[in-house]
C-alpha cells in the first residue's frame, strides 16, 4: 500500500533526515513498522508531529513531503522548455508557408 520513503524536514533550526515508513500501533515484530511512541523517542519528535505528517501523507501522498520551491522551479523549467518548442514550431511553420507559397507561384507559371 505505502512504500517507505526517505523524509527530510527542517524542524526549527535542526535539519533531520528520517526514513518514513508506515506507522503501526501493533507490536513491531514486522520489520520497518514502529509505533508512534517509538518513532518519537527514536527521533526526539512530538507525537502530534507524527500524526500531522501521517494526515499529510493520507491527503497528499508522496507530494506531502516534496519541496514546493523545487516543484515551482521544475514547473518554470518545463514552461521555458515548452515556450522554446513553441517558438521553434512557429519558425518552422513560417518557413514551410514561405516554401509552399514560393513553390506554388513557380509551379503556377509553368
- Please tell me whether the overall predicted TM-score, pTM, comes out greater than 0.75 for this model: no
What is the pLDDT at residue 24? 46
What residues make up the domain containing 56? 5-65
Please tell me whether residues 28 and 55 are part of one structural domain: yes
Which residues, in sequence order, are CB contacts of 40 under 8 Å at separation 6+?
46, 47, 50
Please tell me whether residues 61 and 88 are part of one structural domain: no
pLDDT tens digits, one per residue of 21-60: 554 444 444 456 788 888 888 888 898 988 888 888 888 8
Ranges of H-type helices in 14-67? 36-43, 47-60
C-alpha closest to that of 48 among 37, 59, 57: 37
The total of structural domains in the chain comes to 2
Please tell me whether residues 11 and 54 are part of one structural domain: yes
Please tell me whether residues 86 and 56 are part of one structural domain: no
Please tell me whether residues 46 and 9 are part of one structural domain: yes
Please tell me whether residues 55 and 91 are part of one structural domain: no
Please tell me whether residues 26 and 48 are part of one structural domain: yes
Amino acid at each position: 500500500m505505502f512504500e517507505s520513503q526517505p523524509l527530510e524536514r527542517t524542524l526549527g533550526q535542526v535539519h533531520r533526515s528520517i526514513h518514513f515508513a508506515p506507522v503501526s500501533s501493533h507490536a513491531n515484530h514486522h520489520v520497518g513498522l514502529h509505533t508512534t511512541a517509538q518513532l518519537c523517542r527514536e527521533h526526539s519528535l512530538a507525537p502530534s508531529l507524527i500524526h500531522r505528517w501521517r494526515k499529510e501523507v493520507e491527503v497528499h501522498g508522496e507530494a506531502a513531503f516534496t519541496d514546493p520551491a523545487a516543484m515551482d522551479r521544475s514547473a518554470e523549467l518545463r514552461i521555458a522548455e515548452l515556450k522554446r518548442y513553441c517558438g521553434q514550431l512557429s519558425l518552422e511553420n513560417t518557413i514551410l508557408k514561405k516554401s509552399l507559397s514560393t513553390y506554388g507561384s513557380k509551379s503556377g507559371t509553368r
